[in-house]
């Protein structure tokens, strides 16, 4: 039944390692979309691309790189993703600058340090979003102890970014 469905369904999903399944030897796809491509080593990323006519790599090399444990492999360049390598061709790159994951206060740190001020929130709702903690008032009363003031600050929806020193924990 899997083989029958494969010929009639417009979308098939797998991991890069799942491409080793024998069914993928029998099928050529129109598109391959690799999400988090900046976290995948070049060799592992190439597998799914061989099964498609065209591909789109989605990722951000400013975030986590591929995890390569072998020092010799790292020295030979295996910690560079195909995403990062292909980015050198500026005609093949589209930078997405509108984000929907975090409010503007959280975004401002990475926007200033990494993205040269190019990021923007996708909507006013995203820009002003805060965590809704339904029992926060009750919890604040229980946290009146002075030794727990850091926890009150962390739980305060008006403080979306906190840096905690965990050195003594």
In the chain, where the domains are located? 1-94, 95-129, 132-163
In CATH terms, the fold of domain 1-94 is: Rossmann fold (3.40.50)
Q: Decide: helix, strand or coil at residue 66.
A: coil
Looking at the predicted structure, is the pLDDT value of residue 51 above 70?
yes
Sign of the Cα pseudo-torsion (96, 97, 98, 104, in order)? positive
Looking at the predicted structure, is the pLDDT value of residue 136 above 80?
no
Q: State residue 34's pLDDT score.
A: 96
Question: 147 falls in which pLDDT band (50, 70, 90)?
Answer: low
Beta strands in 21-161 (DSSP E): 29-34, 52-57, 98-99, 120-121
Q: State residue 2's pLDDT score.
A: 63
Give me the mean pLDDT over the 91-111 stretch: 93
């Amino acid at each position: 039944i899997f083989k029958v469905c494969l010929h009639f369904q417009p979308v098939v999903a797998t991991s890069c390692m799942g491409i080793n399944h024998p069914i993928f030897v029998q099928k050529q796809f129109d598109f391959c979309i690799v999400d988090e491509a900046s976290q995948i080593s070049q060799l592992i990323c190439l597998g799914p691309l061989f099964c498609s006519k065209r591909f789109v790599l989605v990722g951000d090399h400013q975030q986590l790189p591929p995890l390569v444990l072998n020092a010799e492999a790292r020295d030979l360049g295996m910690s560079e993703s195909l995403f990062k390598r292909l980015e050198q061709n500026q005609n093949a790159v589209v930078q997405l600058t509108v984000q929907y994951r975090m409010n503007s206060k959280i975004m401002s740190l990475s926007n200033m340090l990494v993205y040269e001020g190019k990021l923007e929130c996708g909507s006013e709702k995203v820009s002003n979003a805060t965590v809704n903690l339904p029992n926060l008032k009750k919890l604040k009363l229980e946290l009146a102890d002075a030794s727990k003031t850091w926890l009150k600050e962390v739980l305060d929806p008006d403080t979306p970014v906190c840096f905690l020193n965990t050195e003594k924990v």
